[in-house]
Amino acid sequence: MTGQVETRHFRTLFISDVHLGSKAARTDFLLDFLRYHEADTIFLVGDIIDGWRLKRNWYWPQGCNDVVQKFLRKARKGTRIVYIPGNHDEFLRSFPGTHFGGIEVAERAIHEMADGRKYLVLHGDEFDVVVRNARLLAYLGDWAYDAAIVINLGLAAIRRRLGMPYWSFSAWAKLQVKHAVNFIGEFQRVVAEEARRHNVEGVICGHIHHAVMEDIDGIHYVNTGDWVESCTAIAEHPDGTLEMISWQRDSAVAEIKTLAKPPVLEDMQAA
């Protein structure tokens, strides 16, 4: 993307799987996206903060702080921000209905589009059998994913020096594994069934880092993707139509500067 970029205003934005606290988080791309996109309401659809990685190894560069401050500033200026925790930031699930700096926490939500259609909004990890029933396997999978991300970071640096656009090795590798493709399909089907049980027209979720909008047996299934691999968000226009935005540009490189642990996270690690 080149040239002058104009700020766009939407009725609603849906963002998930930022994984602040992970070295793979593309805070540079997300900050750039947030500079040019405004909304009346923003849903943060889980795994915004990566509590799993922060427990293992504290990593909080300035870019992570900037993202948090950006959301807080938007809340102060009147944007309604709803934070629906995922499995990596599950520590926030103990605070449903609580407001932090104007950001409200909710377990899940029913969002009514401008055209009257209703969508269930949730992270989706409760429908991931591995996360729900085999926590050790989930952690091992998380470790393997970290390894793929390390490769991803190296390739991204090389492509950037060669003037080539951003491309995600980890996202490509995931889609080459038959088991992963089968899992994605099963996850989508189960989440769509949950929406049907709620008598809504669609569902918006995250969790599996696979951005897509498609019809599944009459339910509009929408996955927001992530800000690790795909760098995607879902936007609702004033007429209720949905758009998937892929944002792979950054206007500045954030300085890598690790910040001290906030007291609330120090307490969380000690627990």
Domains present along the chain, CATH in parentheses:
8-270 (3.60.21.10)
**pLDDT single digits (tens) 218-266:** 999 999 999 998 899 999 999 999 999 999 876 544 333 344 444 444 5
Contact 51, 263 (CB under 8 A): no
Instruction: Tell me the pLDDT band of 138, cut-offs 50, 70 and 90.
Output: very low
pTM to 2 decimal places: 0.77
DSSP-derived pairing of the beta strands 202-205 and 118-121: parallel
The span from the CA of 10 to the CA of 219, in Å, is 23
- E-strand ranges in 17-157 read 37-44, 80-83, 99-100, 103-105, 109-112, 118-121
DSSP state of 164: P
Do residues 184 and 163 make contact, with C-beta atoms less than 8 angstroms apart? no
